[in-house]
Chain A
Amino acid sequence: MRNAFVAELTALAESGAPVVLLSGDIGNRMFDDFKARFPDQFYNCGVAEANMMSVAAGMALCGLRPITYTIAPFTTTRCLEQIRVDVCYHNLPVIIAGVGGGLSYAANGPTHQSCEDLALLRVLPNMTVVAPGDPVEARLALRAAAQQPGPVYLRLGKKGEPTVHAAPPEFALGRALVVRPGEDVCLLAAGNVLPLALEAAAVLAEAGVSTQVVSFHTVKPLDEALLAAAFARFRLVATVEEHSVLGGLGGSVAEWRADQDRPGARLLRVGTGDYFLPEAGDQAYLRERYGLTPASIAERVRRRLAGETS
């Protein structure tokens, strides 16, 4: 997703958009070409994220389109106050790009993991929260974010994620994308777990459970039309995310469902638990520990379906 981000950033600058990339001393070499071609549109703000976020707001107040870029926790929780007061209160078109979302940088430990960012940013007024499911969506999401009148949090993974979309889909913020059809269960995936959700659907198919998979890339605002249709039609709706089960996509959908007169399908929330895992381990290891594997997801879905019929 990182390379897709830089490619789209470059395309935006080429088109004459007044984008300015503010880096929190990260992206070694990755921005070399961009810096060389657009020297007035790249600033290394150092390891000083609070200042960087307010600098972005000041630029946006003058008509520029700043994009802050650093590791997800450092551009979100580290400077949440600046996001809230300077970016959201003024309702400014600042794009906050967090790389290494969820467990992408698992091996670096909980300091570099980001399993609370969706929850914290979505409660801020005016904020749009987007977690693209693959590199194609990452490009389209950045392009769409650059057209927004207000702030957008763009939660990116790392590099080398599998491409899910063979061709660019028709993309709009707030409109989820069905990537696999199904009849019994609907998996809503936010962010880099989209391939994981597809693998879980394949496991379920072998067990005779037909599973729809949706790239629910925009966590705020919710695609309420899709949710209403899904809860009316399926036996079970499950959210999947590399994020705490509290407050992210699962939390959002649970809140939405609580307000419905006829909630319809049951809801299963799959995500990281409400605890840190301090031991060493890569993304695959941590996914295993948090139950974010195709087999584990399929098993939980099967159990919930069984509970429904027993």
Chain B
Amino acid sequence: MKHDLSELTALSRRIRSRLVQMSHAAGAPHLASALSCVDLLVAAYWEALRIDPRRPDDLARDRLLFSKGHAATALYAALAYRGFFPAELLDHYAEPGGCLPEHPGAACAPGVEIASGSLGHGLSLGLGMALAGRIQGRDYRVFVIMSDGECNEGSVWEAAMMAPAQGLDNLVAIVDYNKWQATGRSNEVLALAPLREKWEAFGWSAAEVDGHDLAALAAALERVPDGSGRPVALIAHTVKGRGVSFMEDDNNWHYRVPNAEEVARAQAELGPV
């Protein structure tokens, strides 16, 4: 690993603490969805991605597409802490006229590759970028972070069929598999399981990983392309609301916004931002 594991673990806690604060300050929902994917973002931005925050438009950069746009605070905080823009900007999250809307906008802040919010778009956009890289002779990789609920969308599976047909080994689908979607268990609302086997059957090089194990995530992401000639699907087992004891695996926090007392309790567990 490029970074000390304890350093990255501390970073994840700081980001989570910040997310709780942002949700409260803006009165914005989807906190548990954001907490769920923090470690995926940290492993990607700090360990795997070939990027330079000072050159967010570099044509040769790796791309991270954040397809589960409702969890935007996690993306914003990761980008800020990684140096794409000042962390003070996070204090203005969702403010009217500001550049950090509740769902990422088109070209809204440095490092935000795509607008998202409507689910099921990111993988296809990423496929287009991965194909463009091959056409243009650039060896960048495209990482798409998706939610498990997002896999309800048919367009995801259209893309899942096309990427292997084109042999796009520079494309990675990372599914934040926290087993919840907005109003129910994601394995019950639709027949999502068995998820790894589904991606495998569609022709992907699929693997399961503990989505909160930073070392395991970093190792899996750094391996891309993995030599199989196929796109990579990483099924990341996560816990919705991860890091705050009274939010973990409690789907009320999909929509609920923490009050001041709950912010204090959460930050007592997570530490400062």
1-34 of chain A: CB within 8 A of chain B: 20
> Any chain B CB within 8 A of the CB of A91?
yes
Q: Which of B125, B133, B162 contacts A45 (CB 8 A)?
A: B162
216-253 of chain B: CB within 8 A of chain A: none
> Any chain B CB within 8 A of the CB of A46?
yes
Instruction: Determine the main DSSP class of B at the interface with A.
Output: helix
Instruction: Determine the main DSSP class of A at the interface with B.
Output: helix
CB within 8 Å for A58 and B161 given contacts A40-B135, A43-B131, A63-B136: no
Most chain B CB neighbours (cut-off 10 Å) among A43, A45, A62, A63: A62
A85 to B135: give the CA distance in the assembly, Å. 24
Give the interface size class of chain A: 20 to 34
What is the 8 Å Cβ interface bit string for chain A, positions 37-70, against chain B (1 contact, 0 not)? 0001101011010110111111111111010000
Q: Which of B106, B113, B124, B135 contacts A54 (CB 8 A)?
A: B124
Q: How far is the CB of B72 from chain A (nearest CB, A)?
A: 15
Q: How far is the CB of A221 from chain B (nearest CB, A)?
A: 21
> Any chain A CB within 8 A of the CB of B100?
no
List of B residues within 8 angstroms of A66 by Cβ: 128
Q: How far is the CB of B120 from chain A (nearest CB, A)?
A: 8
What is the 8 Å Cβ interface bit string for chain B, positions 37-64, against chain A (1 contact, 0 not)? 0000000000000000000000100000
- Determine whether the beta carbon of A81 is less than 8 Å from that of B125: no
List of B residues within 8 angstroms of A56 by Cβ: 128
> Any chain A CB within 8 A of the CB of B154?
yes
Most chain A CB neighbours (cut-off 10 Å) among B126, B162, B166: B162
A289 to B58: give the CA distance in the assembly, Å. 57
Q: Which of B113, B118, B130, B131 contacts A85 (CB 8 A)?
A: B118
A58 to B135: give the CA distance in the assembly, Å. 13
List of B residues within 8 angstroms of A256 by Cβ: none
> Any chain B CB within 8 A of the CB of A285?
no
List of B residues within 8 angstroms of A60 by Cβ: 128
> Any chain A CB within 8 A of the CB of B155?
yes
- Determine whether the beta carbon of B114 is less than 8 Å from that of A90: yes
List of B residues within 8 angstroms of A53 by Cβ: 124
**Chain A to chain B contacts (Cβ below 8 Å), 16 pairs:** A50-B154, A51-B124, A54-B121, A54-B155, A54-B159, A58-B128, A61-B114, A62-B133, A62-B136, A63-B59, A86-B114, A86-B125, A90-B106, A90-B107, A90-B114, A90-B115
Q: Which of A's residues lie within 8 Å of B, judged by CB?
A: 20, 40-41, 43, 45-46, 48, 50-51, 53-64, 66, 81-82, 85-86, 89-91
